Amino acid sequence: MSQFAVIGLGRFGLAASIELMRLGNSVIGVDSDSKLVNTVSEQLTVAAIADATDESSLKELDIGSCDAVLVAIGESLEASILCVLLLKSLNVKEIWVKATTKPHHIILTKLGVSRIIHPEEEIGVRVAQSLNYPMMNQYMSIGNGLFIVEVEIKSHHPDMSVKKLLGKAGKDIEPMLVRRNSTIIKHLDGDFQLAVKDSLILSGSLTALKKIAPEFY
């Protein structure tokens, strides 16, 4: 279990906080809007009404001892930057910041935060990739043009082997595992017989993954 702080509990900050809680962590949520804090107080470990540009408030909440802090202040560039400077002076090592504009991004780069997030652009790219490759329920980029994807087997086929599904692209795709109901099946060979509703996890380049037999999914 890690200890996180999320500064700014708008849609983005609150969604991140609730997910961190669901994953079993402890979360200090901070927002200057008292009404908002009161409505979410039950969902977080600590929900504090505070101005994140006020050093004494951050010290009182012991934000300096958090494993990581997510700054999710929306439109106010000034508040976001001031808060990051305070977190730096409190010696927080892992600072992730939501950025809204290019100047905001440039300043954050100069300040040296761990990660700058552009939620709308990042989601836009993900949605476009999912639209372009609808067979992929879930995917993860692992660099060098390689992806890990999840393909759900939807239709019956006379030969349901992994080899048949991958076809000619098989030499460039690594079948990693199959999830069948709650069972995980590893060490797949080409003759492994798939069943409808199986989730098959594969890795390979997008070009190779696009070639796999569409009649299966």
Helix/strand/coil for 45 = coil
Interface residue with ligand ADP among 26, 64, 74, 161 (CB under 6 A) is 74
Candidate segments 9-17, 161-169, 171-179, 181-189, binder of ligand ADP by CB under 6 A: 9-17
Question: What is the CA 98 to chain-centroid distance, rounded?
Answer: 13
In the chain, alpha helices (H): 11-22, 34-40, 55-60, 77-89, 102-111, 119-132, 162-166, 206-210
State which residue, 10 or 135, has the beta carbon closest to ligand ADP: 10
81 binding ligand ADP? (CB under 6 A): no
Cα–Cα dist 158/135, whole Å: 20
Dig out the tokens for 175 from the structure.
Answer: 């079948």
CA distance 105 to 199: 38
Which residue among 32, 87, 151, 208 contacts ligand ADP (CB under 6 A)?
A: 32
User: What CA–CA distance (Å, rounded) separates 195 from 179?
Assistant: 10
How far apart are alpha carbons 158 and 28 in whole angstroms? Answer: 55
Please identify, among the stretches 2-10, 137-145, 147-155, 156-164, the one whose residues bind ligand ADP according to the rule CB under 6 A.
2-10
Q: Which residue is nearest to ligand ADP (CB)?
A: 74
Asked if 44 touches ligand ADP (CB under 6 A), the answer is no
Q: Which of 3, 26, 51, 67 binds ligand ADP (CB under 6 A)?
A: 51
175 contributes a contact to ligand ADP by CB under 6 A: no
Collapsing DSSP states into helix, strand and coil, what is residue 105?
helix
Does residue 162 bind ligand ADP (CB under 6 A)?
no
Closest to ligand ADP by CB, 90 vs 176, is 90
CB-nearer residue toward ligand ADP: 33 or 215? 33
Interacting residues with ligand ADP (CB under 6 A): 7-13, 30-33, 36, 51-53, 72-76, 79
